[in-house]
Each structure stands twice: as C-alpha cells, then as structure tokens.
Amino acid sequence: MNINKYQDISAIDKEAKKDYIDRHSAFVHCESVAKKGEKFKVKVQVGDEYKHPDDFDHYIAYVQLWNGETQLATAHFVAGALGNQPENLEVDFYIVPQKKMKLTATAYCTKHGLWESDAVVVDVQ
C-alpha cells in the first residue's frame, strides 16, 4: 500500500493529470495559531480546483486528520452523501490543542487509494 503525497499541480503540464492529482489531494485549512485549551476548527477538504466524483463505485470514503503520528479524527462518508455528483468533500473537525501541532490530512478514494496532504504547522499559545 502506498500513500500518494501532495504535488503542486501548477508544475504539471497535462490537464488530465492536474485534474487527477488535484481532485484526490487532501488539504488542511485552519488558522496558523491556536489558543491552548480552546476549541480550534480544522477544515479538511479534498480537491481544490477540481472535484471528485461521488459514484457508488468511486468516491472518497474517508478523510483522517493527523497531528504528527497521532490520528486525531476520521470522518467516513457513504457514496451519495455528496449527491452522487462531483464535489469537494469537506468536513470541519473541532479539536482542543495543548501544544504546537503538525497537522496532515489523508483522503481515501475507493478506486485510487490513499492521499496525504502537505503538513500545516499550528503554533499553540
């Protein structure tokens, strides 16, 4: 089993490859600084410029949020939760950080396997 690591699609020429990579890529969106002991919102999104199908035999089944080697949360979706149409899967997790975090997200496509985002460092004050 391999994990596909994030690639910046601006460096990719072929449109089909841009689309393939972007629509599977997981992204972590959050503030860069969190307050210790306070609830902190972290959005995990799949795809940025391109959308992934939500077909019964081809969909994003889950995303996971990691802090370093620790898995904080996982969200599973059924095929059809995104209306059986191309979409950017999104979920907002609320966590309570205690110290500096290095967040990554993974996304699992039922046809094209596991994809990992770039890391996002969050300072906790």
Shortest spacing between CB 19 and a copy of itself, in angstroms: 19
Task: Centre a 10 Å sphere on the Cβ of residue 29 and count the other Cβ atoms it contains.
Answer: 15
| Residues 54/79, Cβ–Cβ less than 8 Å | yes
The residue among 12 and 61 lying less far from a copy of itself, judged by its C-beta, is: 61
- Cβ–Cβ under 8 Å, residues 9 and 18: yes
**Exposure letters 79-93 (e unless 16+ CB within 10 A, then b):** beebeeeebbbebeb
Closest approach, Cβ 94 to a copy of itself, in A, equals: 4
Q: Which is nearer to a copy of itself, 11 or 94 (CB)?
A: 94
Residues in the site for a copy of itself, rule: CB under 8 A? 1-3, 37, 39, 54, 56-57, 61, 66, 68-79, 81-85, 87, 89-98, 104, 106, 108, 110, 112-114, 116
